[in-house]
Amino acid sequence: MSRKYVKIEGPYVESVPLVYKHKIPIQKTEQFWRGLAEGKIYATRCKKCGTVYFPPQADCPVDMSSEMEWVELPREGVLEAFTKVYARPQGFDDLEPYVIGIATLSNGVRVMGWVEPPDERCIKVGDAVEVGTKSVKDKYIIVLKLKKSCT
Amino acid sequence: MKKVAVIGVGQSVFGVRGDVTLQELAWEAVREALEDAGITQKDVDISVVGTVGTRGYELMPAQPVNDYVGMTPKGPTRVEMACATGLAALTVGYNFIASGNADVVLAIGVEKMNEVDTPTSLAVGGRAGNYLWEFHFYGTTMPAGYALYATVHMAKFGTTEEHMALVAVKNHYYGSLNPKAHFQHPVTVEEVLKSRPVAWPIKLLDSSPISDGAAAVVLASEDAVRRLKVDTPVWIAGIGYANDTPILTRRPDYVGYRATRLAAEMAYKRAGIAPQDVEVANVHDAFTIAEIIAYEDLGFVKKGEGAKLIAEGQTYAGGKVAVNIDGGLKAKGHPLGATGLGMVYELTKQLREEREGKRQAPLKRYVALAHNVAGVGHVAYVVVLRR
């Protein structure tokens, strides 16, 4: 079928390039970042009201408290949602297509991670997963390993 | 609170606009809106520029835009709320008038997204969802965010890739009738299904394009409507808005968008209408699944029945409710800051019955609705318009 769309090209000049690279403070969440390297996933819990925060946060807006403690999250979960990312953004475009998933852990906390194996025809919402971490390029990420096998 | 009317609308041609700068593009819409209202810049009390600007080289884009279109010194306001920037700007303009601080407001929405390459544009979009806890680790993108909801909708309600393709077929059909649309060619279900995957199950032809564009809306108080002798004012009957957590893992479910449900509830209450009163709507179909979910969250049908509505063709003009009959984000295009005001542009034309043939929705109650979302349901604005 013939295509009709608006695409007007014209002469241009190039801008002065600008590169941003940020220093993101992790002082208040350092245990979470250390935990990933050890294969553990940490959340914070408010000592006053018991609310569990994942991703971890250092302050509890529910009762205005900053008295928090670290809790390790369970490893068993159920896949709630997933997608396989083919159009990768800058910073991930040198990797193979990956599957992003959201899992609900046995204590009700939800985590995001890459689902393994990355087979979108095999993965189903509701699949049981085991939660771990792995190193990708210069950082550790959470992985959601399918308990069933895909062949 | 004072009543507020739309008295002038303008929109540029959407698409890849390598022929113009941000300012020049904004002028195309501003000129048309001022001429449509029959006024000049002198009649405007204040302008509100809505632009996201994160892909641009001008880091304070409102000032160059205001200056170029003749709105200095009456343009001290810029609004940004990601993909919902357009209706956020409309809301700020509305409040200037409703509060009695202005009589005539010019809302300008403009975006240039094609001055950077596609991986950069995808990265900017993905980072806009939630950088630290999602993009940083997992390379989330906007299509991926919507695709997470798509897989759940498919699993829970039996929605299929074919259903989503039907939305693309409808919106491309209307794009083919709209000379200002980014895409002006029809597509078939088979073409959509065969297009390359972007974030499975979302494919290229399920996705709105990366567009450049501008739209402008002139708002006026009841006094100004009388003074300027406006023939057919279109009244803003109610505006609703809400936000949700940007951390997707903290959402209660993945079958719909809480922000849209709350915004719609507020807008319907303020306008004194029910969802079934809406005759023509522009909803935020950034991806085809988003239109199906919007049918449900806006209350056109019950949760889980969105796919059935498109399968029955009920959202074409003449159906239960005409949705995105300008092509929507999917075919008309999605130039962030311009998108929401582009909806108001279209719905104003619809309510004035200025469209021809199949492009005009049949109207009895003259009730229209615009629905603009930021991120993956991060923020939603719903505006009810009446003639």
Exposure b/e, A66-80, CB count within 10 A at least 16 = b: eebeebebeeebebb
Write the pLDDT tens digit of every residue in B227-238.
Answer: 999 999 999 999
Distance CA B285, CA B298 (A): 13
Distance CA B156, CA B356 (A): 40
Chain B CB contacts of A113 under 8 Å are: 138
Question: Is A15 within 8 Å of B133 when comparing Cβ atoms?
Answer: no
Q: How many angstroms away from the CA of B315 is the closest CA of chain A?
A: 24
The answer to whether the beta carbons of residues B280 and B247 sit under 8 Å apart is no
pLDDT of residue B123: 81
Catalytic status, residue B378 = no
Write the pLDDT tens digit of every residue in A21-75.
Answer: 999 999 999 999 999 999 999 999 999 999 999 999 999 999 999 999 999 999 9
Average pLDDT, chain B: 97
Write the pLDDT tens digit of every residue in B93-102.
Answer: 999 999 999 9
pTM of the model: 0.97
Write the pLDDT tens digit of every residue in B31-55.
Answer: 999 999 999 999 999 999 999 999 9
| Portion 120-149 of A in contact with B at CB < 8 A | 120, 124-126, 139, 141-142
Nearest to B16 among A6, A12, A84 (CB): A6
pLDDT of residue A14: 96
Interface test with B, best of A73, A100, A111 (most B CBs within 10 A): A100
The predicted complex's ipTM stands at 0.96
CB pairs under 8 A between A and B: 144
Distance CA B79, CA B333 (A): 20
Q: How many angstroms away from the CA of A90 is the closest CA of chain B?
A: 5
Chain B CB contacts of A9 under 8 Å are: 16, 18-19
Distance CA B9, CA B6 (A): 8
User: Which of the following is catalytic: B83, B153, B163, B182?
Assistant: B83
Q: How many angstroms away from the CA of A28 is the closest CA of chain B?
A: 14
Distance CA B290, CA B377 (A): 9
Instruction: Read off the pLDDT of each residue in B331-360 and give the average, rounded to a whole number.
Output: 98
